[in-house]
Each structure stands twice: as structure tokens, then as C-alpha cells.
Amino acid sequence: MILLATIPLPAISSALTPQHLPAARINALYVHIPFCFHKCHYCDFYSITRQTPERMTNFVDRILSEADLWSGAATSPARQADHRHLTIEPRTIFFGGGTPSLLPPPAMQRLIQGLQKRFDCRGCIEWTIECNPATVSLDYCAMMRELGVNRLSFGAQSFHQPELAALERHHDPDDVPRSLEMARRAGFERLNIDLIYAIPGQSLESWADNLQRAIALNTEHLSCYGLTYEPNTPIAVKKRLGRITAVQETIELEMLHHTRRYLSAAGLNAYEVSNYARTGKVCQHNIAYWHGDDYIALGPSGASHVQGHRWKNRGHLGGWERAIDSQTLPVDQYEHLSPSARAGELAMLLLRLEEGLSFSFFQQRTGLDARTIYASQIDALTQAGLLNCTDEHLSFTETGLNVIDAIAGEFILDSE
């Protein structure tokens, strides 16, 4: 999701409607909830602070109206017939943000139940909500669990106060074990912790300690991202002004390789460049993104993909609200990928997975033989020791992991 959400798209010249899209069965649904109580200094996701409970309540009304535009639940029978070819039956649902757990309990309840009324969620195997460790209570966790949510993801980022301060994260390290404990008491058996490494001032030892503390909490899933300095974020400006110093690249790579070794020994295997899980606890919603599946996003700045049609919702709450109020999809960027562009994008995504690009899966999705269309890349990158190639798979080596973004970029194909 994060990767796709950051791919630039052209501005759309006319309104997108569900009728523009080909027949598809959508199994993954994302909802972007753009409220935070404070803006962290490294963050370039769309979120706003200083919202009122009333605006959050109205936000839920509009998300449900946006869902109506897709489900046809509140529209005329003729319109329902128009887009009957598009079926949304989520296997996975993900509430991200922002800080979804900032929604007041009645608003969260209404949102979950409203989506369950609009879409057939009986086959939903994974419903994740991102939470800030400082914002949840036992009652809140219990409510979410009773409503059918079965996975929570906590943005811990670090267990060290100076590192949280460097990121301008406003929670206390002790909030993390406390909120995990509450989630477990409420019946959650699938919990994720997000951590960030290469924070300014962080040493390899300090990062190793963060990992130990996360493992001590017995989580089933960890996401570990290297800090990125996104343009125009406060942390990027501080770096440019020389107020902070980025961790050296060689140390960042040591942190990455230590993470893989340490977590593997602890029973959490890498399944993607930044994601680690115990057996059977892989995030299925993430897998849908990396497999190039179809998904629909609701909410401002949400990114969607259906059969090579990619679009992004308006990235501003006011603009998104106005579109919903006029009963149009709130889309302002759209692209229909050519078959070769779609194949290139799929290759890039699959190569980030530990299992790599399966030749048979790629052929089934694109109709193309990756061994043929990528013959020169495979030859050069395997000879350089950056990729492993077997009869079934193409996957990065330990050395290749160090330059995975550059490797993936080699697989972009010229558009026809």
C-alpha cells in the first residue's frame, strides 16, 4: 500500500465512475482515516490535527457515502445494475491513517457496522486497524474485537524516549506494552508493531535493544522501516539545515541485516523487505498489494487499483468532502497502465517479497514469460550476485537486498 500510494499519477481530466472499470472481484478494502493528535516530523502521509469530534463523526458519514457510491446500496436500481459487474467482497480490510484509533468509539462502531452493511464481509479473514499506543483503552479494544476486527497494528517506532523525541512522536515507550496487554485481554491474537531504524542518534546497539523489547512482547508480526527523509517533512528540513545527522548508510545496512538474523532466530521470518511474521501470521492485506491484486480505497488520499486502472483520491479533506457531497468519486489522479507497464510494476512488487517473483504466478497474472522479457536483466543481476534465479523463482540475494530499490527499478518496462 505504502509503496503504491507514493507512485506519482497523472491528474484526471474527467470524472471516474465505477462504470469505467472492467469486471472485477475486489477482495481488499482500505479506509484512510486522516486524523492525528500531532504531526510526527518524518510523516508525509495525509493527516490533519486539531479536528473536532463533530468533524470526525461527519467524516464517518461521508466514508459511508463513498462506500455507497461503490456498493450501490443507496443508489437507484438502474445505477446498481450499471456497475453490477464490480463486486466488492473483502477478504481483508485495513483502516490506516492517520490514527484510526482517534475516532470516538460511537463513530468507530458506526463505521465498522456501516461497512458491514454495504459490503458482504462474511468472507473477511483479516480486519486490521492501526492504533497509536497512547490512544487505546481496554473498552475500545473490546468493542473493535466484538465487531469483528481481528488484527491491530501499533505504531511504536521506538522504545527509547530520545529516539521518539527525534521523530517528534508523542507517546511514551511504556504505552506500547500497556496497549498490547489490553489488546490481548480484549481477545486479539494478531498484533503488529511498527518500528523505525536509522533514527538520528540511534546506534546499532540501541536498535538491537528495540528489537529485543519488541520480541519480549511476543508479537506475531513486526514491520521495520528505515527512516526516510521525505521531501518537505520537518525532519528533512532539519537535516538540510544541518540540525540533525542521518545515520550512515553502512550502519543502516548493518541494522537491516541484524534485524533479519535476529528476528529469524526469534521465529519471525522476513516475508518482505520490511515485514516479519511468525508462521501463519503474515499480513494478508499487504500480500494483496504485493501480488498486484485489485483493491479499493476509501477516504482522502486513498490509492486504488483495479485490473491495471490505478487512481488516487483527493489528498485534501475539504476537497474529498466536497466530491462526496456532490455524489462523485473523489478522484483527482488516474492512470490506465499498459500491459507492459502493469507487468513491470508487478515485477517490482514481487521482487520485494522474500519468495521473490514466481515465474508461474507472473505468467498467470500477465500472460508474459518473465524469463524471456527480462532475460538481459536476469543475466546481468545474477552474474553480479544480486539475484538468485531458479527454475521457479527470481529473488534477491543478501547483497541484492542492499540495493533492492535499484534492482526493482531495472524491471520497469517501456510502455507500449
Complex with ligand SF4: residue 168 or 335, whichever CB lies closer: 168
Q: Is 299 in the site for ligand SF4 (CB under 6 A)?
A: no
Burial group, residue 253, by CB count within 10 angstroms (0-12, 13-18, 19+)? middle
Closest residue to ligand SF4, judged by C-beta, is 43
Segment contacting ligand SF4 (CB under 6 A): 33-41, 158-166, 336-344, 366-374? Answer: 33-41
Q: Is 98 in the site for ligand SF4 (CB under 6 A)?
A: yes
Q: Could you count the other beta carbons within 10 Å of the beta carbon of residue 248?
A: 10
Nearest to 297 by CA among 104, 31, 119, 109: 31
**At how many degrees (to 10) do helices 249-265 and 204-216 cross?**
30
- Residues 171-190 vs ligand SF4: string with x where CB under 6 A? --------------------
Segment contacting ligand SF4 (CB under 6 A): 43-51, 71-79, 249-257, 328-336? Answer: 43-51
Q: Is 401 in the site for ligand SF4 (CB under 6 A)?
A: no
DSSP 28-92: EEEEEE-B-SS--TT--S--BSS--HHHHHHHHHHHHHHHHHHH-TTS-HHHHHHTTTEEEEEEE
> Considering the complex, what minimum distance in angstroms separates the CB of residue 222 from ligand SF4?
17
Question: Which of 72, 90, 97, 292 is close enough to bind ligand SF4 by CB under 6 A?
Answer: 97
Cell numbers 514469460 label which residue? Answer: 369
**362 in Cβ contact with 350 (< 8 Å):** yes
Q: Is 99 in the site for ligand SF4 (CB under 6 A)?
A: yes
Please give the backbone phi and psi of residue 250, each rounded to the nearest 5 degrees, phi first.
-65, -35
> Considering the complex, what minimum distance in angstroms separates the CB of residue 132 from ligand SF4?
6
Q: Is 101 in the site for ligand SF4 (CB under 6 A)?
A: no
The DSSP call for residue 19 is: G
**168 in Cβ contact with 41 (< 8 Å):** yes
> Considering the complex, what minimum distance in angstroms separates the CB of residue 97 from ligand SF4?
5
Q: Is 36 in the site for ligand SF4 (CB under 6 A)?
A: yes
Please give the backbone phi and psi of residue 338, each rounded to the nearest 5 degrees, phi first.
-70, 160
Size of residue set near ligand SF4 by CB under 6 A: 11
- Residues 154-173 vs ligand SF4: string with x where CB under 6 A? -x------------------
- Residue-wise burial string across 305-324, b where 16 or more C-beta atoms lie within 10 A, e elsewhere: bbebbbbbbbbbbeebbebb
Q: Is 300 in the site for ligand SF4 (CB under 6 A)?
A: no
Complex with ligand SF4: residue 285 or 309, whichever CB lies closer: 285
Interacting residues with ligand SF4 (CB under 6 A): 36, 39-40, 43, 45, 47, 97-99, 132, 155
